[in-house]
Structure formats: structure tokens, C-alpha cells
């Protein structure tokens, strides 16, 4: 696989480092469209999907942002103008400007404000309070939008805009069950739900009933799917692998990264892919877990997630 297209939006659950693995797992499978019920930043579809894809998410701001790029409402030039202007104000006024944009975004939902907050907020996190208001604090770097950083973001927007001109991608704001129901049997579904037992916020409320509804929807469907989830960390394992997902193939990678700012979430995680694709040829490279008991003490020193 060539260079990875890095999207202009960041998030704590971004799967940039799983793109190659997901690509290897799916690229010999024929499918008509790529379907992502939990698309997040879009990094997986942008790099793996062939010609046609549906990217859906319950967070309307992600969908609005990518639709704005697809429809030419956000262009690289407009994004540059906006980030240079607001970046200059941030430098002059400091954090009060970040919070002014945050208030404005929470009133209007403007997609460029979302980009600004995502790239100037703490750790590039996306989190909303109970009322659906974005509540990430400032990263405390008034010089955040230095020319090189603006250029980097603008280039990322340009790459996505070019890709969307070449391919037939649609962005949909809806619940995962609807996306799965609408998929054709010949579509490939990649699911990356909020990790059960780990994080929760307004757009990421995830509990056992949703995990089971997802399992039922994927199990009843005749088509192929891959699900990302966590397997274990130094302290505990994901109970749902054995309790819910064990009738499918389970691959794990020793891919590890830091999630979030909270100390309790900083443990390296071993990622899992759960799938109904025949992965026998991959099992040599990625540990095939099947029903085996969870192995501990596999963790090497964690690498920072970049």
C-alpha cells in the first residue's frame, strides 16, 4: 500500500495505524461498496475503499464537514483563508479566542469552526457533553496555526477533495443499525464502534445492548464484515470478545497506542479485528485468537500514537 492519506480531522479513536492491516484483510475479497456505519475521521475508507462507499456516523459534525468538502463548500483555499485569519486572532488574543470559536460552533455548528476546534483543542480529541456541546479545552498553544501547520491541514483537505472527486462516496448522518440494514449483501462493512467498556460521551454512548444489537445485525446479514475492537491491555481483557464475538475469526495485532488524556486510559491496547472473512492466510502474520483464552504479558513498550 502506498502513502496513507491522513484526514484533516483527528480523533482519539482514529485508526490510521490499522489501515494497512484492514487493507490486507479485505483486499482479496470481492465486494460492491465499502460501508462504514461508524466512519469517524474517515481514514479507513479514504485509504481502503475501492470506488464506492457509504460513510455514516451519528456525529452530525463529521458528516457535515465531509459533505462540505464533497460539495465544494469547503475548499483548500477557503480553509487556508479561514485558518490564517482565525489563527492570527488566536495568536493575538490567546485562549479566549479558542473559547469564543467554541461558543460560536456550539451555536451554529459551522464546519470550519469544527476544523479549527479539532486542530486547536487538547490532543485533537472530539468530545461532547450531555447537551451535545463540544467541550474539549484549548491545547494551550496560541501559535497553533503557524504557516507550516496551516499548510499541512490545507493539503489534507485538498487530498480528501481530490479523492471525493474521483470516487463515489456518500456521507450519511444516521444510526449504525440503519446503515447496516441498508447495506447490500455484496457490500463490505467495516465497523469501528466506540470501544465497549472504555469511553463514553454524547455521540459515543456505547453499552452492552448496543454491542449485542451490532452483533445481531452483523450475524444476521449474509455479507462480509470486519469489526474493530480492543482485545486486552496490561490490566484487563475485553470480555465481549469471548462472550459475544467468539463465533467469528479474531485476529489481534500488537499495535499499541495511547488513547485519551485520562491516566487510566493511557495503557497500551492490543487491537482486535473480528471478521467472517476467511483469514487463514493472514493468521501467520497476525495472531489468530479464535476461542483461545486471552494471553497476557504480550505488551511491548508502547509507542506514542503520533
Q: Among 26, 41, 156, 229, which residue sits at the site for ligand SAM (rule: CB under 6 A)?
A: 41
**175 touching ligand SAM, by CB under 6 A:** yes
**15 touching ligand SAM, by CB under 6 A:** yes
- Total residues contacting ligand SAM (rule CB under 6 A)? 20
Q: Among 13, 87, 142, 268, which residue sits at the site for ligand SAM (rule: CB under 6 A)?
A: 13
- 223 or 260: CB nearest ligand SAM: 260
Work out how close the CB of 178 gets to ligand SAM at its nearest, in angstroms, rounded to a whole number: 8
Q: Among 43, 196, 227, 274, which residue sits at the site for ligand SAM (rule: CB under 6 A)?
A: 43
Which of these ranges, 54-62, 94-102, 145-153, 290-298, lies near ligand SAM under the rule CB under 6 A? 54-62
Residue 47 near residue 72 (C-beta atoms within 8 A):
no
Q: Which residues within the stretch 199-218 sit at the binding site for ligand SAM (CB under 6 A)? A: 203-204
Q: Among 65, 82, 105, 176, which residue sits at the site for ligand SAM (rule: CB under 6 A)?
A: 176
Q: Among 58, 233, 252, 275, which residue sits at the site for ligand SAM (rule: CB under 6 A)?
A: 58
Q: Categorise residue 109: left if φ over 0, alpha if ψ from -120 to 50, beta otherwise.
A: left
**What's the CA gap between 57 and 36, in Å, rounded?**
8
**What's the CA gap between 42 and 94, in Å, rounded?**
31
**194 touching ligand SAM, by CB under 6 A:** yes
Count of CB atoms situated within 10 Å of the CB of 235 = 8
Q: Who's near 252: CB < 8 A, 6+ residues apart?
A: 231, 270, 271, 272, 273, 286, 287, 289
Q: Among 21, 38, 65, 171, which residue sits at the site for ligand SAM (rule: CB under 6 A)?
A: 38
**87 touching ligand SAM, by CB under 6 A:** no
Q: Which residues within the stretch 246-305 sit at the binding site for ligand SAM (CB under 6 A)? A: none
**59 touching ligand SAM, by CB under 6 A:** yes
**What's the CA gap between 273 and 22, in Å, rounded?**
8
Work out how close the CB of 201 gets to ligand SAM at its nearest, in angstroms, rounded to a whole number: 9
Work out how close the CB of 9 gets to ligand SAM at its nearest, in angstroms, rounded to a whole number: 8
**What's the CA gap between 91 and 59, in Å, rounded?**
30
- Closest-by-Cβ residue to ligand SAM is 40
**49 touching ligand SAM, by CB under 6 A:** no
- What residues are paired with 282 via a beta bridge? none
Show the cell assigned to 48: 481502503
- 62 or 90: CB nearest ligand SAM: 62
Binding site for ligand SAM (CB under 6 A): 11, 13-15, 37-38, 40-41, 43-44, 57-59, 175-176, 192-194, 203-204
Amino acid at each position: 500500500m502506498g502513502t496513507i492519506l491522513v484526514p484533516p480531522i483527528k480523533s482519539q479513536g482514529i485508526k490510521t495505524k490499522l489501515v494497512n492491516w484492514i487493507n490486507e484483510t479485505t483486499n482479496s475479497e470481492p465486494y460492491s461498496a465499502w460501508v462504514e456505519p461508524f466512519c469517524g475521521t474517515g481514514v479507513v475508507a479514504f485509504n481502503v475503499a475501492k470506488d464506492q462507499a457509504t460513510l455514516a456516523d451519528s456525529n452530525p459534525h463529521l458528516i457535515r464537514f465531509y459533505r462540505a468538502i464533497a460539495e465544494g463548500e469547503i475548499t483548500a483555499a477557503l480553509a487556508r483563508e479561514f485558518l490564517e485569519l482565525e489563527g492570527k486572532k488566536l495568536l493575538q488574543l490567546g485562549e479566549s479566542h479558542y473559547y469564543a470559536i467554541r461558543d460560536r460552533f456550539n451555536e451554529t455548528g459551522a464546519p470550519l469552526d469544527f476544523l479549527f476546534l479539532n486542530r486547536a483543542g487538547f490532543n485533537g480529541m472530539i468530545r461532547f457533553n450531555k447537551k451535545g456541546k463540544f467541550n474539549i479545552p484549548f491545547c494551550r498553544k496560541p501559535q497553533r496555526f503557524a504557516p507550516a501547520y496551516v499548510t499541512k491541514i490545507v493539503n489534507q483537505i485538498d487530498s480528501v477533495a481530490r479523492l471525493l472527486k474521483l470516487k463515489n462516496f456518500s456521507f450519511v448522518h444516521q444510526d449504525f443499525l440503519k446503515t447496516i440494514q441498508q447495506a447490500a449483501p455484496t457490500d463490505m462493512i467495516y465497523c469501528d464502534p466506540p470501544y465497549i467498556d472504555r469511553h463514553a460521551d454524547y455521540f459515543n454512548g456505547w453499552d452492552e445492548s448496543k454491542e449485542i444489537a451490532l452483533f445481531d445485525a452483523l450475524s444476521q446479514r449474509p455479507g462480509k464484515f470486519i469489526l474493530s475492537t480492543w482485545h486486552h491491555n496490561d490490566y484487563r481483557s475485553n470480555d465481549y470478545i469471548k462472550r459475544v464475538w467468539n463465533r467469528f475469526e479474531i485476529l489481534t495485532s500488537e499495535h499499541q497506542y495511547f488513547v485519551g488524556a485520562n491516566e487510566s486510559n493511557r495503557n497500551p491496547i492490543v487491537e482486535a479485528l473480528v471478521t467472517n472473512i476467511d483469514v487463514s492466510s493472514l493468521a501467520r502474520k497476525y495472531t489468530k485468537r479464535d476461542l483461545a483464552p486471552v494471553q497476557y504479558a504480550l505488551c511491548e513498550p508502547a509507542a506514542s500514537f503520533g
